[in-house]
Amino acid sequence: MSKYHHINSLIKLEQLLETRYEIPNRAVAREAVRSESFPIIEGNEAKDAESEKSQILSDSASDSPFRAEFEKFIFQHPLRFTDYLLRQIKRSPAVAKQYLPDPRELDPVGLEKPLTGQINTGVPGLERMYLDRVILMPTSQCFAYCRFCFRKNYSHDSREPDYGNPQDTFEKALNYIRNDERIKEVLITGGDPLMFRDKVLELIKKLRTIPQLTGIRIGTRIFSSDPELITEEWIRPFKKLNSTSPNLPAGRQAPISISSHLNHPDELTEECMRALLLCTQNRIPLYNQTVLLKGINDDPKTLIDLFRKLRQLGVEPYRVYMADPLKGTQYLRTSLDEFTQIKKYLRAYASGRVVPSFVVDTRIGKVELGTDAEIVQRKKNTVWIKTAYTAGIFRSMDPNWEIPEYCKQADDKSLIVEYEDSLPLSIKKKKG
């Protein structure tokens, strides 16, 4: 069983580095937090960011209001690692930047909850935005917490307990799905559902009694946060569930696939690749989702490298997401222009089999610019995106659905949604 390191203060982080890496004393550990494990930033931004960090983390500023504010922030948005991940953080800046806190998280720009357009299902842990699929979240906990996660600003407490009485919640969720035949797919996510494999298996067995379902997907970061958990024995029940019984008509029961979340080739360690291969070679299809993150993977060659290796392992490179306009993650966001440029580069230089689709998560649903959506207006960083969604679609799922203030209706009834493109950091103004 993995050991989780749950950290909710700078001092605990420094202590962890002290013991974990045998860094001899607190002052040196503090230095390690600043210079080694903290994100390494390049270009002009580097000096500013480094001096911010120095001020926050140095001895002389240890009682500064800014450090106190950062401390409070970390308490509200704690860190969590596995043993495996701690080894990777030490080894790779691209991994470290995804999990270690950064003082720039105090930047006030961005939305508290960038994805608020969900249909009200009335069931805790069951989210819906689309006609044919729902999201089921049996837990809100993860092996490790990514600093860019769009669920990060949900209340700290919601990370702790499961959603209500699990049995009761599951039954309500199953009834909701069963009662709407338009729902064909269920994505089990969270949190990271594979923290509780047996609970997921139990849920899948129940979902498979719903005849209209054609697919069950599991979203997880297990391959990058705790791949050593995946053994032949661990995946056997999934393999069994995906085996076709000769007594059943083909396709009778919804097949299970797993969505991995890998952002950088550094995450494809030996342990990770072994775990991915174990799944693909045991009839568990894998597809990967990647978030484009500034200073981590916003380089087309890095992405092509990642996607080619994934294909080699039998994993479908499925989607690249623009990082959400989430408060405190501005420093990790590219602009929409950069996002589009990278997509164009990939299309020009790599085979269609390795290039995923590039998706923007708006508050009313996912869109692909240039395919099903286009920017129709831009004012500084605020853009308006014309989508294929209509109010009619949402009302067919929830008759009380009203067009929200961040949407307009076009002449052809399609919805135009407001989207926040990335902005320069405003942290300095706040400090002054």
**Could you tell me if 234 and 275 are in contact, meaning their C-beta atoms sit under 8 angstroms apart?**
no
Restricting to residues 281-320, which ones interact with ligand SF4 according to CB under 6 A? none
Among 95, 123, 146, 296, contact with ligand SF4 (rule: CB under 6 A): 146
Q: In terms of CB distance, is 41 or 144 closer to ligand SF4?
A: 144
Is 201 a residue that touches ligand SF4 (CB under 6 A)?
no
Least distance (Å) from ligand SF4 to the CB of residue 245?
33
Q: In terms of CB distance, is 57 or 194 closer to ligand SF4?
A: 194
CB neighbours (10 Å) of residue 204?
20
Is 142 a residue that touches ligand SF4 (CB under 6 A)?
yes
Q: What Rg do the C-alpha atoms of the chain give, in angstroms?
A: 22
Which 8-state DSSP code applies to residue 124?
Answer: T
Q: How far apart are CA 221 and CA 206, in angstroms?
A: 24
Q: In terms of CB distance, is 153 or 387 closer to ligand SF4?
A: 153
- Concatenating the DSSP letter of every residue in 141-203 gives --SS--TT-TTTTS-GGGGSS-SSSHHHHHHHHHHHHHT-TT--EEEE-SS-GGGGHHHHHHH
Tokens of 228: 């050593």
Least distance (Å) from ligand SF4 to the CB of residue 229?
14
**CB contact set of 182 (below 8 Å; sequence gap of 6+):** 131, 132
Strands 133-136 and 126-128: antiparallel
Q: In terms of CB distance, is 221 or 294 closer to ligand SF4?
A: 221
Restricting to residues 169-198, which ones interact with ligand SF4 according to CB under 6 A? 190-192
Q: In terms of CB distance, is 140 or 334 closer to ligand SF4?
A: 140
Q: In terms of CB distance, is 150 or 394 closer to ligand SF4?
A: 150
**Could you tell me if 134 and 348 are in contact, meaning their C-beta atoms sit under 8 angstroms apart?**
no
How many residues lie near ligand SF4 (CB under 6 A)? 9
Q: How far apart are CA 92 and CA 185, in angstroms?
A: 36
Q: How far apart are CA 155 and CA 363, in angstroms?
A: 19
Least distance (Å) from ligand SF4 to the CB of residue 322?
14
Choices 124-132, 142-150, 201-209, 278-286; region in contact with ligand SF4 by CB under 6 A: 142-150
Q: How far apart are CA 70 and CA 94, in angstroms?
A: 22
Tokens of 335: 């602009």
Choices 27-35, 71-79, 139-147, 395-403; region in contact with ligand SF4 by CB under 6 A: 139-147
Least distance (Å) from ligand SF4 to the CB of residue 151?
5
Q: x/- contact string, 202-231, with ligand SF4 (CB under 6 A)? A: -------------------x----------
Counting DSSP H helices and E strands in the chain, the numbers are 15, 15
Q: x/- contact string, 392-431, with ligand SF4 (CB under 6 A)? A: ----------------------------------------
**CB contact set of 344 (below 8 Å; sequence gap of 6+):** none
Is 97 a residue that touches ligand SF4 (CB under 6 A)?
no
Is 333 a residue that touches ligand SF4 (CB under 6 A)?
no
The residues of the shown chain that bind ligand SF4, judged by CB under 6 A, are 142, 145-146, 149, 151, 190-192, 221
